[in-house]
């Protein structure tokens, strides 16, 4: 089953529950009404990460020269720029869309398929966004927090956005299945390797730490850098400055 189909199945099961949860907690907002279930899924994901993904990512980081690892990260960031440009159009941010399209064209050509970030040196800024952000700009509420098996933290809105983003990315349309799946695997490993240093910042209740960091990161994204006051309930500000 593809990542697109798997995430679609998960969200089709949880979406009706989330709508009911939203109705039940209108008077007392609760961003994590499924915490008991989410924690079980988190433990599964955390075990998979500890015994498989993290060791593989450490091995990848050890054998890959720094410039090569940076190039791989640039390659996948370049593919994301194409998706960001499309979402910027849907959000009515045409300046960002033009700049994102320019970055994708420049890095895909002069940057050798994106392995070199030539666009940044030319002054073309990255405006990272996704379909979850687009849904937010259209007025869709975030919905409850979810821990999705294998895919990690989401909200109903960002999870729905992930389905469309996955399908929209260029690598999803490669007909060669082994090549497509290899790119998926490499992207996951490279992304995990980039977070190895962040592991040291995790403290206390890991579930709460990751949940709050994710929700705040999404809040910052959809509000153009502004954080809602409700996040003051999730921990002190100094912790987030370090994260």
If you write DSSP's letter for every residue of 32-52 in order, what string do you get? -TTHHHHHHHHHHHHHHIIII
Does residue 190 lie within any of the structural domains?
A: yes
Does residue 25 lie within any of the structural domains?
A: no
Q: What is the pLDDT of residues 226-242, one digit of tens each?
A: 665 554 444 443 333 33
The predicted model scores a pTM of 0.79
Which band of pLDDT confidence, cut at 50, 70 and 90, is reported for residue 190? very high
Split into its structural domains, the chain has a count of 1
Half-sphere exposure for 143 (CA within 13 Å, toward CB): 23
CA distance 146 to 10: 10
Alpha-carbon torsion (26, 29, 32, 36), positive or negative: negative
CA distance 49 to 41: 12
Does residue 224 lie within any of the structural domains?
A: no
The residue range of the domain holding 154 is: 3-8+30-205
CA distance 131 to 138: 10
**Residue whose tokens read 């990460």:** 49
Of the ranges 61-75, 96-110, 196-210, which one carries the lowest mean pLDDT score?
196-210
Which band of pLDDT confidence, cut at 50, 70 and 90, is reported for residue 57? very high
Does residue 201 lie within any of the structural domains?
A: yes
Does residue 219 lie within any of the structural domains?
A: no
| Residue 64 per-residue DSSP state | S
Q: What percent of the chain has pLDDT over 90?
A: 72
């Amino acid at each position: 089953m593809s990542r697109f189909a798997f995430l679609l199945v998960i969200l089709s099961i949880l979406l009706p529950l989330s709508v009911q949860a939203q109705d039940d907690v209108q008077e007392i907002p609760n961003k994590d009404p499924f915490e008991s279930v989410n924690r079980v899924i988190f433990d599964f994901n955390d075990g998979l990460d500890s015994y498989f993904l993290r060791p593989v990512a450490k091995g990848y980081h050890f054998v890959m020269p720094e410039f090569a690892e940076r190039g791989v990260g640039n390659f996948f960031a370049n593919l994301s720029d194409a998706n960001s440009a499309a979402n910027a159009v849907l959000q009515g941010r045409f300046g960002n869309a033009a700049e994102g399209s320019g970055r994708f064209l420049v890095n895909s050509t002069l940057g050798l398929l994106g392995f070199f970030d030539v666009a940044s040196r030319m002054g073309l800024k990255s405006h990272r966004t996704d379909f979850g952000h687009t849904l937010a700009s259209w007025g869709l509420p975030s919905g409850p927090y979810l821990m999705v098996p294998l895919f990690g933290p989401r909200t109903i809105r960002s999870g729905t956005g992930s389905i469309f983003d996955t399908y929209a990315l260029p690598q999803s349309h490669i007909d060669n299945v082994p090549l497509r799946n290899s790119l998926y695997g490499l992207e996951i490993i490279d992304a995990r390797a980039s977070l190895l240093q962040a592991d040291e910042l995790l403290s206390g209740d890991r579930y709460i730490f990751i949940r709050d960091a994710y929700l705040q990161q999404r809040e910052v994204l959809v509000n153009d850098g502004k954080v809602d006051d409700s996040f003051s309930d999730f921990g002190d500000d100094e912790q987030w400055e370090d994260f």
